[in-house]
Amino acid sequence: MDILVINAGSSSLKYQLFNMEDGKVLAKGIAERIGVKGGNINHSWMRQGAYLTKTLDIDMPDHHAAFDEISGLLVSKDAGIIQHKDDIDAVGHRVVHGGEHYTQTQKITDAVKKAIEELIPLAPLHNPANLIGINAAEKAFPNAAHIAVFDTAFHHTVPEKAFRYAIPEKYYLQDRIRSYGFHGTSHRYVYGQAVKYLNNKKLKAITIHLGNGASMCAINEKGESVETSMGFGPLAGLIMGTRSGDIDPSVIFHMADELKIPLEDIKNVLNKQSGMLGIGGSNDARDIGRLYEEGNKNALLCYEMYGHRIKKYIGAYTAVLNGADAIIFTAGVGENDALARHYACEGLSALGIVLDEAANVSGNHPEEPVEIQSGSSKVKILVIPTNEELEIALQAYQVMRDRVDKSPG
């Protein structure tokens, strides 16, 4: 079974084609600058055990045009990997927000698309693009099953005592204001990899997804998310590339009432001008790392603040879980920045968390799970590369298998 995984942005479209018999990526790529001049597609495909690449410089007025080009590449003589686009059995779509209703992976129907549209106010930057991608993919691959995998779905097991805010009940009942959490696909994937690696089916773990967006998740021995750091939107929790993370709401009132900053400008400051960028001058941890090595004080402060925020959540989630067996670092910063892991783990020996500094440095850029804790650590410290696309493919594959199992005869 071949499954195409789609991650649609407002002006980009990432894709990977999986052969589900062995989980290998047959082809992958990204279409960029959709809807503007100077568009291009970077396409890679497997040929005799190695990836070949091709760049196509072409303007794509919309996502429909992008899919036409991508489907053409997939079946082309020089860069193709399948005979006909109908060879694709299913298309798995990343959808950021599924609200309270969609707690599992879903075959896409008109009702599902309507629900995704109705949730746009909760994810205005993501759900519109996800929906555009779904509509365009359905036209490009009309005979494939289309399946939605929701980032929020993994967190549906978070109990009410954790997802409710202490505001009047009507705002939850009428307006659905509550914590939803995000990055669920990544948290689910790396937790599953840790269970396999440690051979512990009752693993209690704290997963730490550190990219330009960042979040943490407490996962109990049943594999259920019971707490997560992002909330109603993706601004809460950890310090991120450009987002502030947790902030006293009084600061927002002060900026609006006393400093006379328009609300839209405050939103822009907290979402696009804060985090690593606001503290250290760049939203790229590699830039902050270089400045740190040069002795830059702001870079040092950035790492200290970044790590301190993570440590606060490690402590809180250890309490929520009544002890953790493992903490897991993943995503761009989590997998590749030893300094970030160092500052996140230092001074946690009272919780049984002790880092091996040499293993931490050598643990960068792993292709498989690696352990970076010292021999005296009671808690495993793992670095596990995330693979959200594979997780989407696996969930779509399970939906397809369930359909076959339930079919008559």
Residue 26 known to bind ligand: no
Contacts of 49 (CB under 8 A, 6+ apart): none
Sequence-ordered list of residues with C-beta below 8 angstroms from that of 13, at least 6 positions apart, any chain = 6, 7, 30, 31, 34, 63, 66, 67, 70, 133
23 a known binding residue? no
332 assigned binding-site residue? yes
Residue of 59, 68, 110, 151 marked active site: 151
Residue among 151, 158, 116 at smallest CA distance from 133: 116
Instruction: Tell whether residue 24 is among the known ligand binding residues.
Output: no
Q: Residue 286 annotated as binding? A: yes
Distance between CA atoms of residues 369 and 51, nearest Å: 23
Is 204 annotated in a binding site? The answer is no
Q: How far apart are the first and last CA of the chain?
A: 20
Burial class (CB in 10 A: 0-12, 13-18, 19+), 19: middle
Q: Is 320 labelled as part of a ligand binding site?
A: no
Contacts of 146 (CB under 8 A, 6+ apart): 90, 91, 93, 107, 108, 134, 137, 138
Is 322 annotated in some ligand binding site? no
Q: Is 388 annotated as a binding residue?
A: yes
- Catalytic: 59? no
Tokens of 103: 């707690």
CA-to-CA distance for 309 and 289, rounded, in angstroms? 18
Is residue 335 a known part of a binding site? yes
Q: Which residue has the tokens 């910063």?
A: 333
Task: Report whether 213 belongs to an annotated binding site.
Answer: yes
Q: Is 336 annotated as a binding residue?
A: yes
Q: State yes or no: 404 annotated in a binding site.
A: no
Residue numbers in the known binding site are 7, 14, 94, 209-213, 284-286, 332-336, 388
Catalytic residues: 151
Residue numbers in the known binding site for Mg(2+) are 7, 388
Residue numbers in the known binding site for substrate are 94
